[in-house]
Amino acid sequence: MDLSTDSLLMAMRPRLQAWAQRWAAVLPGFTLDSLYRSRSEPFRPAYSRKLTSEDLRRARFFGETSADSTRIVEADSYRLFVDGAPELWGEPDSAPALADLRADSLWILATVGTTGGFEDAFWIDSNRFVITGYGERQFEPWQGGGELWAYDLARGTLTRYSTPDVDKATYDRYVAAAKAALRARFSVPA
């Protein structure tokens, strides 16, 4: 992919440096130009419900607030607090979420079981945000890789970017590095 011709990827680039460096450490030669892009598609949340005070507390700690302060995006709504301390992997599932503060609602954007996970979430602007993650793509022979999910709320679209496929050992090295980065970011002991 030619980064210079993909305006969406160009807009995400400044926030993807650490993610790209982790992939380059396990997949020599990897750059953002190594990604392949899927066509933009309409999206609907997996489900939505009323926002609770616990949702808000979790989202404010683990997520990122939009520039207009009306929404909070979080990479994994299964993250929580146990005895006041952040817990990053209390559940085997992972589910990115969007808290809409004006509508007092929480949208669960997707749910992934043990075959993958979501790492980070950030805003490009007030209507576009990105979720980074990883997952198994094929079981026999095993292949996996990294994912970027770029949501555009104004257009109601989701655009996915994927790393090249990697084998299980490479994938496991990446996941270990991603989890170490999350533990450091949220001051969670190993």
Alpha helix (H) residue ranges in the chain:
7-12, 17-26, 53-62, 168-185
Compute CA 59 distance to the chain's CA centroid, rounded to the nearest angstrom. Answer: 14
DSSP type of residue 112: B
Q: Between helices 168-185 and 17-26, what is the axis angle to 10°?
A: 140
Strand 47-50 to 128-138 pairing: unpaired
CA distances to 37, 75, 162, 167 from 133, in Å: 15, 8, 10, 16
Compute CA 43 distance to the chain's CA centroid, rounded to the nearest angstrom. Answer: 16
CA-closest candidate to residue 131, choices 109, 150, 107: 150
Assign 3-class secondary structure to 73-133: EECCCCCEEECCEEECCCCCCECCEEEECCCCEEEECCCECCCEEEEEEEECCCCEEEEEE
Consecutive 10-residue runs of the chain (190 residues): their mean pLDDT? Answer: 80 96 96 94 93 96 96 95 85 92 96 91 97 93 96 97 96 96 90
Q: Which pLDDT score, from 0 to 100, does residue 5 have?
A: 84
- What does the alpha-carbon distance between residue 154 and residue 170 come to, in Å, rounded to a whole number? 37
The residue to which tokens 């683990």 are assigned = 62
Tokens, residue 3: 């980064």
